């Protein structure tokens, strides 16, 4: 509690515990293709937050309402090693929210051309399984998980498929990735808005709003979280911030 008050007072007086500006991210480090056996993979570090994302492809039946489209499945797990407050067991509401929020940005941005992942309409399509593993927690999981996912998808290769069998050891095509959705989550303490909180800042925050933008600066997904509120004008400010910061973060992915 006293820790929270310290962080709150600091933010309200215009400062942060690590001297960053309110719109400044910690250092971001991304490595891709770290797992040979996964078709796509990445490890992302934002400060001390660390997330590994693996992409595995398999062949399955399409959904009846989208007979000519591949299937996207996002799952997230919080390793109990990542924080004393994470517990072992099936994903809790926080892990489920993280997976569904990332799923929404990937899906709604149409960044994967799912129609190109159809093998035989109504019968066989590629399933893209994205697994997000939080291995160390120091705040800002949504932004990190989404960037890690985009990085992993960008390097995903499609395995060879012959005679009804997937040959995982040989890969031929790239995943058709046509956009780069980026979440920037804006946190609020009092009337101050800031990004990329550490664990202490995240615990002290009243509320958060995650805004995913795409290449042309449009918004493709929003999720508000926490028990606090945002006023409409604060939301408008948050959107401006996330468009500008999102554009800068997106440059990390353009080689």
List of residues contacting another protein (CB under 8 A): 68, 93-94, 96-97, 99-100, 104, 107-109, 209, 214, 217-233, 235-236, 239-240, 243
The per-residue b/e assignment along 172-209, b for 16 or more CB within 10 angstroms, e otherwise, is eeebebebbbbbbbbbbbeebbbbbbbbbbbebbebbb
Shortest Cβ 98–another protein spacing (Å): 10
In this structure, are residues 196 and 139 in contact, taking their beta carbons and an 8 Å threshold?
Answer: yes
**CA dihedral (216, 20, 149, 170) positive or negative:** positive
- Closest of 55, 51, 54, 53 to residue 83, by C-alpha: 51
In the complex, least distance from residue 68 CB atom to another protein, rounded to whole angstroms: 7
Find the shortest distance in angstroms from Cβ 71 to another protein: 15
Whose Cβ is closer to another protein: residue 101's or residue 158's? Answer: 101
- Whole-number minimum distance, CB 246 to another protein, in Å? 12
| Backbone phi, psi, residue 7, to 5° | -65, -45
Name which of 43 and 184 has its Cβ closer to another protein. 184
Q: Which is nearer to another protein, 39 or 131 (CB)?
A: 131
For residues 95 and 93, what is the distance between their CA atoms, to the nearest angstrom?
Answer: 6
DSSP 34: -
Smallest gap from residue 169 Cβ to another protein (A): 33
- Secondary structure of residue 179 in the 3-state scheme: coil
> Measured from the CB of residue 126, what is the shortest distance to another protein in angstroms?
19
Cβ closest to another protein, residue 58 vs residue 75: 75
Select 15 or 71, whichever has its Cβ closest to another protein. 71
- The token pair at 122 is 């109504």
Question: Strand, coil or helix: what is 100?
Answer: helix
Residue with smaller CB distance to another protein, 136 or 234: 234
């Amino acid at each position: 509690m006293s820790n929270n008050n310290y962080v709150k007072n600091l933010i309200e007086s215009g400062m942060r515990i690590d001297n960053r500006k309110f719109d400044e991210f910690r250092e971001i480090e991304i490595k891709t293709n770290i797992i040979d056996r996964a078709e796509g993979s990445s490890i992302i570090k934002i400060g001390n937050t660390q997330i590994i994302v693996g992409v595995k492809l398999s062949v399955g039946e399409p959904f009846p309402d989208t007979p000519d489209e591949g299937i996207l499945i996002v799952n997230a797990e919080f390793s109990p090693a990542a924080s004393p407050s994470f517990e072992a067991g099936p994903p809790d509401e926080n892990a489920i929210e993280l997976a569904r929020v990332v799923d929404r940005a990937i899906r709604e941005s149409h960044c994967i051309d799912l129609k190109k992942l159809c093998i035989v309409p109504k019968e066989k399509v590629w399933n893209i399984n994205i697994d997000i593993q939080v291995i160390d927690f120091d705040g800002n999981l949504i932004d990190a998980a989404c960037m890690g996912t985009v990085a992993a998808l960008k390097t995903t290769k499609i395995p060879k498929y012959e005679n009804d069998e997937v040959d995982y050891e040989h890969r031929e095509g790239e995943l058709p990735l046509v956009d780069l959705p980026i979440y920037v989550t804006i946190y609020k303490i009092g009337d101050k808005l800031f990004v990329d909180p550490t664990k202490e800042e995240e615990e002290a925050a009243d509320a958060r709003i995650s805004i995913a933008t795409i290449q042309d600066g449009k918004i493709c997904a929003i999720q508000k979280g926490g028990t606090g509120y945002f006023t409409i004008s604060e939301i408008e400010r948050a959107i401006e911030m996330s468009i500008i910061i999102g554009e800068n973060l997106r440059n990390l992915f353009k080689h």
